[in-house]
Every structure is written in structure tokens, then in C-alpha cells.
Chains A and B, each alone.
Chain A
Amino acid sequence: MIVEGFLLFAIVSIWIAVFESVVMMYGAIRFIRREHRNPNAIPADMDHFPTVTVMVPAHNEEIVIATTVEHILGLNYPQEKVQIIVIADNCTDDTAGRLQRLKARPAYQDRNLQIMERVGTGGKSGALNDALKQATGEWICIYDADAAPERNALFFLVQKAMEEPEKYGAVFGRNKARNRNHNFLSSCINLELVTIQRVHHTGLWELFKLGTIPGTNFIVRTALMREIGGWDEDAITEDTAVSFEILTRGQLIALAPKAEAYQQEPEQLSVYMRQRERWAKGNYRVVMDNLHHLFNTSSWRIKLHVLYYAASYFWFMIALIISDIIFVVNIVYQIIGLFNPAVVSPFQFTSDVYIYLVIAWALMYYIYVLQINLALASDIGQSNTRNFILSCVSYFTYAQLFLVISLKAFYSMVVDRISGRQNKWYKTQRFD
């Protein structure tokens, strides 16, 4: 009876996951069609645009920091309206030196570029909070130290904010993998990024006006950020935590997909696992901290946001583990049964229900491949045979890493809670 209960739970959970994907794809198609009807228009005059403080937290980033700041200095936005603060946070390398040499170049003499050398706690959040005290812009824009924003990225972010200045507390753009063809791992990360941004982000925004700020390539209103009290220095995923703070204040986080920035993605499995474990752990904590919204008078949008995160990180994960166990155990017992028919699987279902688990699983796999290929189709130059094959293969390889990461992060979070261990901030490794 318990086993059959697991089976029903797995089937219904997979259905819900498939339904969620169908809804997201519907929203994404609507969004992308509308986007294609509205071509880019860059105004010659940006006098009425607000002032912006661009903040770049950098901890031992000597390899990439100069290139990143050059990209920011080259943004198509009125120079007199941009303040740039680069925070060399607890650096033991030449990050600050490289920034000073860049600032000394004649081409940048007239630019409002501040280099803040900081020694303190709080990691990225602490660095951003210190910079927030010196920010003079009406909006704050954050770029990670490895970001390479496109020339019009900031313009598109601010343009979106100006559509509904009373409603939009923050606007976020698209992050692309600059090393997407380096190896199998970076290619799979690219597929994941494209799918999340071209299907899930667009679908959520189109249908529910829901968005989450990523760690980089977004703007947030300075007054709102000060009202929130800055970034949570205890949060591992400070961006998700801030997103909930913005939503609970009745403000929206808008999507501006034309605001594109390139970033480095991990090329080694160990680096990738550490980065994702940190994200998963941070998101678990944010979900736990915000679960109360489901049971109070918070708006439907916040409830949906909590459910979306909770479903992704808890429910679907458990359903996947159960269905994977049922499949694997049955396959093993089928093989054993070839040699010894007396051995019977503990998950032996005599009904047609098992067939529907197989069908549900097949549907889930198909929609997984389909949504990746929808996302690829909407991204110029990415819909090719190589990526199609990758999308088919990645379910059985890359996507299964999510289970390992989720379980490790969950275990780590439980140990933290029991032992009172403090979270350690882990910086993703960079390369030339």
C-alpha cells in the first residue's frame, strides 16, 4: 500500500511538473512573439533618463576585473549620469592595482569611477552594502566581476524601468555563457541558461508579472534598496532574498531580455558542483524563510513565487527521486528475473497504473527536450544539430546532477541548522 502511494505521488507530481512546463512554454511563446513584433529603438537623446550607480563587487578578481570595467565604461548611457563603484573586497591579489591603472588612462579621466578598497565581513552582500552608502544614482545597477554587458544593456534595463516607474522596483536582463562551447559541461550550462531565461523567465513575466533578480545584470531603485535595508549579509543567495523583499513591498521585478550580458560559466565539474550547491542551499533557506507567505494575507503573486521555488527545490526533487528509484529497481529486478524467476521486485505493480508512470515519465522527458529547443529556436544561431543532440542527452547526464546537488545541499543545510554552523561564502573560480 505504501509503495502504491509512492507511485501515485510520483505520477501526480510528474503531471504537475509537465503542466508547469506547458504553461511556461505557452507564456514564453506569447512573450517572444510580442518581442519579435517590437524592434529595438535606441533614442539619440537620453537627457530624461535617470542617474545610475553601477556597482561591481570584486574579491580577488585580477584576472577579469579590468575587462569587465572597460565594458561598463563603454556602455551606451550618458556618461554624466553614470557613477561606477568597484569594490575590491578583501583582495589579496592585484585587483585594486589593475583598477587604479585602468582609471589612470587618459580616456577615463573624466569618468566618475570610484575604487573602494574594503576589508570587512559579509562577502558580496557586505561589499554591496558599503557601496550603497556612497551611491548617488536614482537606480543601482549590479554587475559581477566577470560580466561583459552588451553596449546597450544598461539602456534597455532603464528603458524598461521607465515604462512603469511606479510599479517596477527592479529590472533584470539576460545573462549568456561566453564560454558555451568550451566543453560538455559549459555547453549543458548554456542550454540550462537559455531555457531558464527564454522559457521560464519570459513565461513567468508574461503570464504572472513575476520575476527574480539574478546576481548580476539588473537594476534596482536606490530608495527601495535603502528601504529594504540593503543586502542580507547572512543570505547565501542574496539576490533571491532581495527579490522576495521587493515583492512583499508590492513592487514588481520586470524582465528586459534585450539587456544582455555575458558571463563565465564553470568549466570544471568540481567548480560547478560547489557553485550550484551554494545556490541550492541559499534557495532552500529563502524558501523556508518565506513559506509563511502561503498561510498569511500576502498577495497571490508572492504565494505563487514561493510555490514555484518550493516545487522546484523540494516537491519535484522528491518525485523525481521516487520515480527514478522505482524505474531503476524494476529494471534491476527484471534482469535478475531472467535468471531467477522466483525473485520479484518490491515495486511490482499488477495494474495499468505503472504504465501511466512510464507514459508520464516519457511526457516529462519529451517536454524537457521541447522546452530547451523552443528556447534555442528563439536565440539566434543556437538552434543547431549539436545543441539538439545535447538537449536529448543532457537529461540523463547533466540534469541528474541536480538531484545530487539538491540532496547534498539539503544535507548541508540540515547539518548547519543542527550544529549552528555558519554559512561560508564561496566565490566561483575564474580563468583567462
Chain B
Amino acid sequence: MQTAMGTHWFIIVCMVVTGFFAVAVLGLTIVTLRFRAKVIRDFDRRKWDDC
């Protein structure tokens, strides 16, 4: 596939970088959800005020 810029290499870079970010973001999402569940389990049950 040839781009308008003739930069096939840039598409490959795009795919690699996007793949890396996708994995990183997935990992961070899992950690965030697990962390949120832990905080709610440990603290929110003790009826902390929302304000």
C-alpha cells in the first residue's frame, strides 16, 4: 500500500505504535478498575461522606 506521501514505512510505524498504546491502555484500564473496586471495598463501606 503506497500512501500519498510515498511513506509506506509510516503506516507500519502507525500500526506498531497504535498496538503498543492499545496494550498499555488495556492494562491501565484493568488496573484502574481493580483499584477502584479495592478502594470501594475498603473505604466506601465505612460511609464516607461524598462531599
Q: Which A residues contact B (CB, under 8 angstroms)?
A: 4, 8, 11, 15, 18-19, 22, 25-26, 29, 32, 180-181, 349-353, 356, 359-360, 363, 366-367, 370, 373-374, 376-378, 380-384
Q: Find chain B residues with CB under 8 A from A11 CB.
A: 14
Interface of A is mostly: helix
Is the Cβ of A351 less than 8 Å from the Cβ of B32?
no
Q: Find chain B residues with CB under 8 A from A360 CB.
A: 18
Is the Cβ of B5 less than 8 Å from the Cβ of A351?
yes
Interface of B is mostly: helix
Closest to B34 in A: A377
Q: Find chain B residues with CB under 8 A from A18 CB.
A: 21
Chain B 1-34 per-residue mask, 1 if CB under 8 angstroms from chain A, else 0: 1011101001100100110011011001101100
**Contact for A352 among B11, B17, B28, CB less than 8 A:** B11
Is the Cβ of A353 less than 8 Å from the Cβ of B5?
yes
Is the Cβ of A359 less than 8 Å from the Cβ of B18?
yes
Q: 21 A-B contacts, Cβ less than 8 Å apart? A: A11-B14, A22-B21, A22-B25, A22-B28, A351-B11, A352-B11, A353-B5, A353-B14, A363-B18, A363-B25, A367-B25, A374-B28, A374-B35, A377-B36, A377-B39, A378-B35, A380-B39, A381-B43, A381-B44, A381-B48, A382-B50
Query: CA separation between A180 and B31, bound complex, in Å?
Result: 26
Query: CA separation between A95 and B39, bound complex, in Å?
Result: 42
Q: Find chain A residues with CB under 8 A from B32 CB.
A: 370, 373-374, 377
Contacts between the two chains (Cβ within 8 Å), count: 83
Closest to B46 in A: A380
Closest to A178 in B: B51
Is the Cβ of A353 less than 8 Å from the Cβ of B10?
yes
- A263 → chain B, closest Cβ, in Å? 15
Closest to A353 in B: B3
Q: Find chain B residues with CB under 8 A from A26 CB.
A: 28
Query: CA separation between A360 and B20, bound complex, in Å?
Result: 12
**Contact for B4 among A4, A15, A380, CB less than 8 A:** A4
Is the Cβ of A383 less than 8 Å from the Cβ of B18?
no
Q: Find chain A residues with CB under 8 A from B5 CB.
A: 4, 8, 351, 353
Closest to B22 in A: A363
**Contact for A356 among B14, B43, B44, CB less than 8 A:** B14
- A196 → chain B, closest Cβ, in Å? 17
Is the Cβ of B21 less than 8 Å from the Cβ of A380?
no
- B10 → chain A, closest Cβ, in Å? 7
Closest to B17 in A: A15
- B44 → chain A, closest Cβ, in Å? 7
Query: CA separation between A374 and B18, bound complex, in Å?
Result: 22
Is the Cβ of A350 less than 8 Å from the Cβ of B4?
yes
| Other A-B pairs beyond A353-B3, A363-B22, 18, CB < 8 Å | A11-B14, A15-B21, A19-B21, A22-B24, A26-B28, A180-B51, A350-B3, A351-B4, A352-B1, A352-B14, A353-B11, A356-B11, A359-B14, A363-B25, A370-B29, A381-B43, A381-B49, A383-B36
Closest to B43 in A: A380
Q: Find chain B residues with CB under 8 A from A380 CB.
A: 39, 43-44, 48
- B39 → chain A, closest Cβ, in Å? 6
Q: Find chain A residues with CB under 8 A from B10 CB.
A: 8, 353
Query: CA separation between A26 and B14, bound complex, in Å?
Result: 23
- B43 → chain A, closest Cβ, in Å? 5
Q: Find chain B residues with CB under 8 A from A15 CB.
A: 17, 21
- A267 → chain B, closest Cβ, in Å? 16
Is the Cβ of B25 less than 8 Å from the Cβ of A366?
yes
Query: CA separation between A168 and B12, bound complex, in Å?
Result: 45
Closest to A11 in B: B14
Q: Find chain A residues with CB under 8 A from B21 CB.
A: 15, 18-19, 22, 363
Is the Cβ of A29 less than 8 Å from the Cβ of B18?
no
Q: Find chain A residues with CB under 8 A from B24 CB.
A: 22
Query: CA separation between A367 and B50, bound complex, in Å?
Result: 25
- Which of B7, B18, B22, B48 has the most A CB atoms < 10 Å from its CB? B18
- B33 → chain A, closest Cβ, in Å? 8
- Which of A29, A363, A377 has the most B CB atoms < 10 Å from its CB? A377
